[in-house]
Chains A and B, each alone.
Chain A
Amino acid sequence: MVALRFLRALSLVRCSGPGARSPSYRARGIRRAAYACMAASAGPRRAWSRALLRKIRRRPGRGLRRPRAVIRRRRPVGGGDPLEVALRRLVPGGGCMEYCRLLEEAADYVKCLAMQVRLMQTIVDSASHVNSID
């Protein structure tokens, strides 16, 4: 479940550098953790979760790419519709999908995103609530 993953990741972020880093760095770390948890809980069956995890794990300046046989860009996109192009850019891994697959992935992505947002909002609310009571 995404909630527990996220809480764990959050704790990791917190204890990695409490006060040592700038708030923006921590914010970025939290955001990355959120996306990672979301993608991890969605499972590897979804193209967007795979692409998202790939994107996140690739970030730490890894210049050496493993010579894995990754099939990238199976079908080049003929971006005629600006809306379609925008959607491809928004959904992770949306560059090489067909249109109806893109819509499917987008639906799942929206669902997971909405849940993640709700979760984060809940945490913030309850945390602030606890603070206010004390």
Chain B
Amino acid sequence: MLRELVSPNSSALRLLLFVFLFAPESSTSAWIWGSMQPSARDMQVHGKTAASLNGIAASSDQIALPELQNGHGSQTPFDHGGSVGHDDFLDQMLSGLRSPWAELGATKSPWDAPDSEGPTAAQRIFGVGKEAEDGLPYAPFDESALLANRLRQYQISGGSSPVGKAMMLPLSHHGQQQMLATSGDSGFLPLPLTLGSCGSVDSPNSTVGDGLYNGFSGALQHTESANQHTFPHPQQGAPMLGQNFGAAPLAPGLTQAPAAAVSASASAGGGGTGPPRQKVRARRGQATDPHSIAERLRRERIAERMKALQELVPNANKTDKASMLDEIIDYVKFLQLQVKVLSMSRLGGAAAVAPLVADMSSEGQSSAGRAVCAAGGSSDSLTVTEHQVAKLMEEDMGSAMQYLQGKGLCLMPISLASAISSATSSFHRPHSSSSATLGHLHPLPNAGSCDPPSSPAASALSAHSAMANGAADAAKDTIVVSKG
């Protein structure tokens, strides 16, 4: 396991793994912050996670120390001295706890649990809220996406260490409250950033370990200085959180990293879920394996589809695949709910439209057989129809409706027609010519049956002349013809 960490190839791998690690982990950690309100349940829960975090920190500590002993750990003597001074602090921190966090981090099972508990608390804390109709845990996902985004940016730019140090400074300046308030991402950033910075340094072997340890102890030192006043507090929650602040992001990363590195390197093909597999693409640069080629192709197609989906769904600024999927799922649920609600509210509102059409349909069923095909789509038939309808309207609305129904037309308010055409025009854009083109009439096939999907051209004919003859609601009526 040490070899995995030390080897230079895996450093980049681990950096990448941090990205997807923090996606689930930061949600839990954000949830930890969110559940700072003292409640029995919260205490118990984040006590457990704090415990598991410490378990990881213990393992990371063991890993990092041998690296120091190799003699490369002299980058900052402060850290050495700090390490000695911090060891007992570390031990104190790491004393209680075992590895529930290992399972917690590894299996991503708390993905569902924190989702249910986290959102309200997280939203309360962070003040991030989407609309009530969604009512979902956006705060943790935002942070994870934010983190992933920033991490990626920093990786691209080479991850300079001054950046890392600059990021770590705010950590010390914030009080504990602020550390909570500014959310986990600013805290999570320093560690992977120092990791990244050390990873980009030339000497490969132990700088990664150094980076780990430096970041770890550095963050610890900052957190400890910031939390001095809270340390002697008897209550478990706050100081544990403050101390775990440094341990938390690093620790799950470390356990996850060797596990995932092992799994990634072991399973060459490794089908299954998309998100973790995509991160190991850099490692498998060799394209000799047909399985890996097919795998990469599949992944690319999935990425394409995800991008297309991202454009459809609003609020598509999430970079993380899991959060994007979640967004999509919520949007689909929301749309289905809207259909349901609209169908319930439709009942009264449809009264204005339906009776006209209803009369037609009840009386027009018999007449549907005859006069199926009017003349072809020439403008002559249009005006003829218009005049005919106008004449019929003078006598009796019902007969006019009957005539229209026989022709396969229907009557609807202009506002509705224009609104509908505008609403559906964007959808039918590829089919072209779907927007209302005045003065163009197409005969319709029989009503009620499944129309063959011929060219779905929608046309609208506004029978202003007919209306001018004094039919009711003259200004608002129009004859709409559509086909397909």
Residues of A within 8 A of B (CB): 1-5, 7-8, 10-12, 14-15, 18, 23-24, 26-28, 30-31, 34-35, 40-41, 43, 78, 80-84, 86-87, 90-91, 99-100, 103-104, 106-107, 109-131
Contact = CB atoms under 8 A, between A and B. Distances in A.
Contacts of B424: 1-3, 115, 118-119
Contacts of B309: 103, 106-107, 110
B282 interface: no
Nearest to A11: B357
B343 A1 contact: no
B342 A99 contact: no
Which of A12, A26, A120: most chain B Cβ within 10 A? A120
A15 B329 contact: no
B325 A87 contact: yes
B361 interface: yes
Contact of A4 (B346, B419, B482): B482
B346 A30 contact: yes
B158 interface: no
Sort chain B's interface into a size bin: 35 or more
A123 B480 CA distance: 14
Nearest to B299: A100
B482 A103 contact: no
Which of A23, A26, A117, A119: most chain B Cβ within 10 A? A117
Interface of A is mostly: helix
A37 to B, nearest CB: 11
A110 B306 contact: no
Contacts of B453: 41, 43
Interface in B429-446: 434
A71 B328 CA distance: 28
Given A1-B484, A7-B412, A117-B339, A14 B358 contact: yes
A123 B353 contact: yes
B175 interface: no
B343 A120 contact: yes
Q: Which 6 A-B pairs have the closest CB atoms?
A: A103-B305, A127-B349, A11-B357, A30-B343, A31-B343, A126-B416
B332 A90 contact: yes
Which of A2, A28, A109, A128: most chain B Cβ within 10 A? A2
Nearest to A43: B453
Contacts of B346: 10, 27, 30, 120, 123-124
A134 to B, nearest CB: 8
B343 A27 contact: yes
A128 B345 CA distance: 11
A7 B342 contact: no
Contacts of A8: 357, 361, 410, 447-448
B312 A114 contact: yes
B273 interface: yes
Given A8-B361, A14-B358, A83-B329, 17 more contacts: A1-B456, A4-B482, A7-B412, A12-B448, A14-B355, A15-B358, A26-B347, A28-B343, A31-B343, A41-B456, A81-B274, A82-B111, A83-B326, A87-B329, A120-B339, A123-B350, A129-B415
A87 B353 contact: no
